């Protein structure tokens, strides 16, 4: 398989899971001290990942949780952010100015900053009170954190079983990438040079569609695209869809699945150029169906990791190249 590194996939998962006990201890201290609310704060891809998890949390937890874009939070403020708030962040480089500004704003309000920042010496890491550093995906880092808060509140009864099965997560995601490779290669060959891409997702995959369109197709692959939530599709976007319009649907196994199915049922009436990536079609050995919902974003991320590889190959455009992002002052 093209650019496929099983060891790297497993390492990313294992490094995050290895911090579980330390995360649990930190969360327990926060809970013993007492807190009023939790703010999930990100920007760009980290905001999208937080949105994925927020979709799950609002239907499964009674913890008072707010989702904020870092730049918007700094500009607009939030009266709910205060001394008994916990701000949870993730960042790879720790050099994103909007995130650093948001954390400083949170600290001014007295909030506890709890975060995963890969680069320990970065500006963001230096502002983070409770700091963890490891490689790996942002979703799993947020998930480990929020499951610990839910456990302390008695909201996730299958906590221990989840982590028993999480030992198989790296291998499960490797299997998903293997199973997705042929379809994603065909997708890239068919659509790699299309002039426009519409990416539709609902529920926990609304954030995935947003992130994939913006962070990968636009930023890394220089492709024109738009992401649409399944809920919004019927309130504007359907009017610009024609027979040959390229539409891709991300369909998961969470509570948003029915909305994706609604879009999928309607589209053939007006469009002949539809691709559906459905997490349910891919197998995760060692992971029960019970946990497929909460892992839906990670399964989809494994699928679109293969789309990336093949689009990069078809377009002959290395994904590391940027023209403006972190190249110019803005």
pLDDT tens for each residue of the chain, 330 residues long: 999 999 999 999 999 999 999 999 999 999 999 999 999 999 999 999 999 999 999 999 999 999 999 999 999 999 999 999 999 999 999 999 999 999 999 999 999 999 999 999 999 999 999 999 998 999 999 999 999 999 999 999 999 999 999 999 999 999 999 999 999 999 999 999 999 999 999 999 999 999 999 999 999 999 999 999 999 999 999 999 999 999 999 999 999 999 999 999 999 999 999 999 999 999 999 999 999 999 999 999 999 999 999 999 999 999 999 999 888 988
DSSP H or E segment with residue 117: strand 112-117
For domain 6-157, the CATH superfamily is: Glucose-6-phosphate isomerase like protein; domain 1 (3.40.50.10490)
Domain ranges for the chain, please list them.
6-157, 168-315
Q: Are 188 and 313 in contact (CB under 8 A)?
A: yes
Hey, what's the torsion of the CAs at 327, 12, 160, 173, to 10 degrees?
Answer: 100
Closest CA to 202 of 56, 304, 24: 56
State how far the Cα of 172 lies from the Cα of 312, in Å rounded to an integer: 24
Whole-angstrom CA distances from 286 to 5, 11, 23, 236, 248 are 20, 17, 24, 41, 29
Q: What is the CATH number of domain 168-315?
A: 3.40.50.10490
Model pTM score: 0.97
Do 6-157 and 168-315 have matching folds?
A: yes
């Amino acid at each position: 398989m093209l650019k496929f590194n099983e060891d790297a996939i497993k390492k990313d998962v294992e490094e995050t899971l290895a911090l579980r006990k330390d995360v649990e201890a930190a969360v327990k201290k926060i809970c013993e001290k007492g807190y009023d609310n939790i703010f999930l704060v990100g920007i760009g891809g980290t905001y999208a990942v937080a949105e994925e998890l927020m979709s799950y949390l609002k239907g499964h937890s009674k913890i008072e949780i707010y989702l904020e874009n870092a730049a918007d939070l700094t500009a607009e403020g939030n009266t709910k952010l205060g001394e008994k708030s916990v701000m949870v962040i993730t960042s790879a480089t720790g050099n994103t100015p909007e995130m650093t500004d948001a954390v400083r704003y949170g600290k001014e309000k007295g909030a506890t900053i709890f975060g995963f920042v890969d680069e320990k010496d970065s500006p963001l890491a230096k502002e983070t009170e409770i700091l963890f550093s490891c490689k790996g995906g942002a979703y799993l880092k947020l998930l480990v954190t929020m499951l610990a808060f839910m456990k302390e509140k008695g909201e996730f009864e299958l906590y221990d079983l989840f982590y028993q099965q999480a030992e198989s997560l790296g291998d499960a995601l490797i299997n998903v990438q293997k199973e997705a490779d042929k379809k994603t290669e065909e997708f890239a060959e068919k659509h790699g040079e299309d002039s426009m891409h519409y990416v539709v997702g609902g529920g926990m995959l609304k954030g995935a569609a947003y992130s994939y369109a913006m962070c990968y197709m636009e930023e890394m692959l220089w492709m024109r695209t738009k992401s649409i939530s399944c809920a919004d599709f019927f309130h504007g976007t359907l009017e610009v869809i024609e027979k040959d319009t390229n539409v891709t649907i991300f369909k998961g196994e969470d509570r948003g699945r029915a909305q994706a199915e609604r879009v999928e049922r309607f589209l053939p009436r007006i469009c002949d150029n539809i691709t559906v990536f459905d997490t349910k079609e891919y197998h995760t050995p060692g992971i029960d169906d019970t946990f497929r919902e909460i892992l839906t974003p990670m399964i989809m991320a494994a699928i679109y990791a293969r789309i990336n590889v093949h689009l990069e190959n078809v377009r002959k455009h290395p994904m590391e190249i940027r023209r403006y992002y972190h190249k110019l002052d803005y």
